[in-house]
Chains A and B, each alone.
Chain A
Amino acid sequence: MNTPMKIHPKKLLMIIAEAALERQLVADVKRLGANGYTVIDVRGGGARGDRGADWDADRSIQMEVICDDAVATRIAEHVYSSYFENYAVTVCVTDVGVLRQEKF
């Protein structure tokens, strides 16, 4: 590790969705160019009611993908056109810095 550490700008795409979509979303983000992803079990509520995560049909996930701007836009557009109409889904994008930019 002789090269000095540098922080590179990337996008953090966050998708909060019904757990029923997890398998599809994982396939989607891989296909659309993400190199990695993280999924967390979460609970919460919103326009489509409270999702307490007590049991299967009530579980929600939060998926996080760190990627470049183009991939984040592509995934966000896909989620927007495929899932927003019928599912409880939230998407947001923020700026983050990473140390190893070739990983994302």
Chain B
Amino acid sequence: MDPVVYFFVLGFVARLLRSDLKLPGVLYESLTIYLLLAIGIKGGVELASHVYGAIAIQALIVVAMGAALPLIAFPLLRYIGRFDTHNAGAIAAHYGSVSVVTFAVGVAYLAKRGVEYESYMPLFVALLEAPGIIVGVILGRMSERGREMNWAALMREILLGKSIVLLLGGLAIGWLAGPAAIAPVKLFFFDLFKGALCLFLLEMGLIVASRIGDLRKAGIFLTGFGVLMPLLAGSAGALVGTLMGLSVGGTTLLATLAASASYIAAPAAVRIALPQANPGLSLAAALGITFPFNITLGISLYHAIAQFLHA
């Protein structure tokens, strides 16, 4: 386990023991902005030195994968979990989209072991934010034939949410500026990155522990889903990564992305698009189970699956 995960555990335990530790909401927001931007810039700088044709094809495959993930999650939730269409669609949207912090922990995991990966992976993070949410919302609204939906407003909410704007913006800035011009901000965006990630994980630990009550209400099925769905999606992601020619490291990260569930972009968009869905359910699963599972055990499992598929 990478030491960044210890910070998550610290936050989690502190909140469970009812410590008065509380990070100000503005710090959470500032760290989110910083992490998204830094990940984008790093990917953009690396993107400058690659062949675009090959990446474009990979990008299309990745978007298709993102759109397909809710199609795995939805039937499980609807027909085995017995959730109504709205809740099944809402949870599927969260699992179709990705968690940037899980990705960052995956990068730290690989770095610690000296495993190389395709340095333009942040592009895939940005590309995977939206398709899963859109497909999840469409699935969730299937029973809604009569009522009109303001798709323009929803697309703006999803595509202009801060995750996509900062990731793509960072990618563009890094790509346009190139390594030499980015050097002066290297200290701030690259060298301090891991420290910021530690603080963010501390906050995540606090948040997850404070939602333990939701988890109890969510029930056995959703708890199982929170572990099984990332295993399924992670395996699918590892397969896609191997088939499209990524390295073991790149495959591990794509599997990690597929396995992760969004808690920044998806909740905001889904709250507006599927108001009938109970946000407590999606967040209990995505944040309460899948996020801790992925950063503690999941990533090393996906790494093992990637190694197996590449052997």
| Chain A positions near chain B (C-beta within 8 angstroms) | 18, 20, 24, 41, 49, 52-59, 83, 85-87
Asked whether, in the complex, the Cβ of A20 is within 8 Å of the Cβ of B271, the reply is yes
Nearest B residue to A49 via CB reads B280
Tell me the smallest distance from the CB of A25 to a CB of chain B, in Å: 12
Partner of B263, one of A20, A53, A57: A57
12 additional A-B residue pairs with CB within 8 Å, beyond A49-B213, A49-B214, A87-B275: A18-B271, A20-B267, A20-B272, A52-B210, A53-B25, A55-B28, A56-B264, A56-B267, A57-B271, A57-B283, A83-B275, A86-B276
Q: Which residues of A contact B203 (CB under 8 A)?
A: 54-55
Asked whether, in the complex, the Cβ of A20 is within 8 Å of the Cβ of B268, the reply is yes
Q: A54-B22, A55-B25, A57-B283 are in contact. Are A86 and B275 (CB under 8 A)?
A: yes
Q: Which residues of A contact B276 (CB under 8 A)?
A: 85-86
Whole-angstrom CA separation of A52 from B25 in the bound complex: 9
| Chain B positions near chain A (C-beta within 8 angstroms) | 22-23, 25, 28-29, 203, 206-207, 210, 213-214, 263-264, 267-268, 271-272, 275-276, 279-280, 283
Tell me the smallest distance from the CB of A91 to a CB of chain B, in Å: 17
Q: By CB atoms of chain B within 10 A, which of A53, A55, A83 has the most?
A: A55
Nearest B residue to A50 via CB reads B210
Q: Which residues of A contact B29 (CB under 8 A)?
A: 56
Tell me the smallest distance from the CB of B201 to a CB of chain A, in Å: 13
Asked whether, in the complex, the Cβ of B206 is within 8 Å of the Cβ of A54, the reply is yes
Q: Which residues of A contact B214 (CB under 8 A)?
A: 49
Q: Which residues of B contact A57 (CB under 8 A)?
A: 263, 267-268, 271, 279, 283
Tell me the smallest distance from the CB of A40 to a CB of chain B, in Å: 13
Partner of A56, one of B206, B210, B268: B268
Tell me the smallest distance from the CB of B143 to a CB of chain A, in Å: 15
Nearest A residue to B28 via CB reads A55
Q: Which residues of A contact B213 (CB under 8 A)?
A: 49
Whole-angstrom CA separation of A41 from B28 in the bound complex: 15
Whole-angstrom CA separation of A54 from B264 in the bound complex: 13
Tell me the smallest distance from the CB of B255 to a CB of chain A, in Å: 26
Whole-angstrom CA separation of A94 from B186 in the bound complex: 54
Whole-angstrom CA separation of A14 from B163 in the bound complex: 31
Q: Which residues of A contact B28 (CB under 8 A)?
A: 54-55
Q: Which residues of B contact A56 (CB under 8 A)?
A: 29, 264, 267-268
Q: Which residues of B contact A85 (CB under 8 A)?
A: 275-276
Q: By CB atoms of chain A within 10 A, which of B23, B272, B276 has the most?
A: B272
